[in-house]
Amino acid sequence: MRIRRSRRAAGAAAVALAVTAAVLAGCGRGGGAAGAGTGELKLAGAPVLTSTDQQRTATAGADQVFGLDLYRALAATHGDNNLVLSPSGLTTLLALVLPGARGSTAQELTAALHTELTPEQYAAATGELDRGARTGLDGKAALEQSDTLWAQQGLPVQQDYLAVLAGAFDAGVRTTDFAKDPEGARKAVNALVEQQTHGQVKDLFGPGAVQPSTLLALTDALYLKADWAQPFKPAQTGPREFHTLAGRTEQPPTMAQEGRLRYAAGSGGITGQPWQAVELPYASGHLAMDLLVPAQGGFDAFRRGLDQAQLQRITAGLADTEVDLTLPKFAFETDSNLNDPLVQLGMRTAFTPSADLTGIAGHDAPWRVRLTTVVQKARITVDEQGTVAAAGSGAVAGVSAAAPAATRTELHIDRPFLFLIRDTGTGLPLFLGQVTDPAAG
């Protein structure tokens, strides 16, 4: 699909993981030519891995649960700030790691991902969900996802592992020399991610993240640009009040439109807080952004009580309604180190010298491999024309029926809210986040 670039909406998310030898010196690795280099992209000859409908449905549901787990963990550290993350990007990255994990490392990773599938089945289902989200888009939407494995020159990566990556994600391996030129290798990895996200994600790995002891780096780059099915008219955009989570009242540029949208409202559930929700479809047909708006003063309780069951009840309760909607424009970036959140979610062993990733480099490798750094950087821009890299999550129980079609419902978003961009066919959560201050970059 040809990508239409626009200054009006641009954004992306990328996640990456670095794997290093547990022994940081004296590894005795094979070298290679001096300098990092980008290496030649090599794809293992492997058939495309497929999954059943039941496996894909289970995996999409598991991704929702994992995404909400991660959102709560990151919200606890980001506090009252704006936040955007990509559940799909991170689950895809971990699906690249899982086939190489063994023992308790694999068990903890499987539990954190809420899946009962084998590593190969989970990779196949994840790959098919990712491809399904990218199909059926027209010229007003673009969704691209790229996965890459970078390996130290001379590292004997297992062919069975490479075959899973190729069959599930069409992912190949590039070689570089982390040992001799870690800074050059870092720049090469970052440059490819920047290219894959059309310049939206820069410097994914910060200075010092790649060391001479690094053996592998895996990256997932996700880029979305989509126009609204019903764009907002710029002439109707103007300053309107927004009450931030910090208690300030600001007047950010706020869009407005009236029209028939899928809407729901309710109260109760775990939080007992009233809420409203509206879905803004993209012109692609099966991608949409859901906005979840708790009542003034109820945001903290709402996000703490959000779980998959409540999210599904909210989205299932959306129905066509005449809506008078106002929505502030927003654009911001979130840069997260995910080591601690993933440990909190149960991935403890993978970051320790006891990690077992022998499915990647083999039992006979002279180096014990463990994860050292997992990072994600996501960016979102929302304006009158559309969106890129939006993330949203939020839910409460007690969905009520939408207002009758003849009644116009008012939803003026003048307070903190959650957003979710998803594939409405499968429920796959592409991006998720919160807007607490639309004026904050």
pLDDT band of residue 386 (cuts 50, 70, 90) is: confident
Q: Is residue 172 located within the same domain as residue 294?
A: no
Rounded CA gap, 180 and 196, in Å? 26
Rounded CA gap, 229 and 141, in Å? 10
| C-alpha radius of gyration, the chain, whole number | 22
* End-of-domain residue from the set 366, 381, 396: 381
Is residue 366 situated within a structural domain? Answer: yes
Q: Is residue 101 located within the same domain as residue 30?
A: yes
Q: Tokens 């023992």 correspond to what residue?
A: 103
Is residue 2 situated within a structural domain? Answer: no
SS (H, E, C) 60-101: HHHHHHHHHHHHHHHHHHHCCCCEEECHHHHHHHHHHHHHHC
CA angle 228, 232, 236 (to 5 degrees): 175
Q: pLDDT at residue 389 above 60?
A: no
Q: Is residue 236 located within the same domain as residue 153?
A: no
Q: Is residue 150 located within the same domain as residue 53?
A: yes
Structural domain that includes position 392:
227-331+382-435
Task: Provide the residue type at 24 as one letter.
Answer: L
Q: Tokens 């927003």 correspond to what residue?
A: 330
Six-digit token string for 80: 């009252």
Q: pLDDT at residue 114 above 90?
A: yes
Q: Is residue 310 located within the same domain as residue 254?
A: yes
Is residue 101 situated within a structural domain? Answer: yes
Rounded CA gap, 152 and 175, in Å? 6
Six-digit token string for 83: 């936040």
SS (H, E, C) 139-163: CCEEEEEEEEEEEECCCCCCHHHHH
- What percent of the chain lies above the pLDDT cut of 70? 84
Task: Provide the residue type at 120 as one letter.
Answer: E
Q: Is residue 198 located within the same domain as residue 92?
A: yes
Is residue 4 situated within a structural domain? Answer: no
Q: pLDDT at residue 269 above 60?
A: no
Q: Is residue 298 located within the same domain as residue 172?
A: no
Is residue 5 situated within a structural domain? Answer: no
Q: Is residue 373 located within the same domain as residue 394?
A: no
pLDDT in tens, 35-45: 344 555 555 56
Domain CATH for 177: 3.30.497.10
Domain CATH for 272: 2.30.39.10
Is residue 3 situated within a structural domain? Answer: no
Residue 311 CB contacts under 8 Å (≥ 6 apart), including other chains = 64, 68, 393, 394, 395, 420
Q: What is the pTM of this model?
A: 0.88
Q: Tokens 């300098």 correspond to what residue?
A: 35
CA distances from 8 to 273, 381, 388 (A): 35, 8, 10
- What percent of the chain lies above the pLDDT cut of 90? 61
Rounded CA gap, 328 and 138, in Å? 27
Tally of structural domains, the chain: 2
Closest alpha carbon to 105 in 294, 340, 351, 296: 351
Six-digit token string for 275: 């809420």
Q: Is residue 402 located within the same domain as residue 429?
A: yes
As a whole number, the mean pLDDT across the chain is 84
Residue 365 three-state SS: coil
Is residue 256 situated within a structural domain? Answer: yes
Q: pLDDT at residue 273 above 50?
A: yes
* End-of-domain residue from the set 381, 397, 412: 381
Average pLDDT over residues 314-335: 94
pLDDT band of residue 22 (cuts 50, 70, 90) is: very low
Q: pLDDT at residue 327 above 60?
A: yes
pLDDT in tens, 68-105: 999 999 999 888 899 999 999 999 999 999 999 999 99
Number of neighbours of residue 428 by Cβ within 10 angstroms? 25
Rounded CA gap, 206 and 209, in Å? 6
Beta 214-227 vs 253-266: how paired, if at all? unpaired
pLDDT in tens, 393-439: 111 111 222 333 446 788 999 999 999 999 999 999 999 999 999 98
pLDDT band of residue 111 (cuts 50, 70, 90) is: very high
Rounded CA gap, 153 and 162, in Å? 15
Note the pLDDT of residue 267: 74
Q: Is residue 260 located within the same domain as residue 360?
A: no
Q: Is residue 205 located within the same domain as residue 281?
A: no
Note the pLDDT of residue 440: 87
Q: Is residue 247 located within the same domain as residue 362?
A: no
Is residue 440 situated within a structural domain? Answer: no
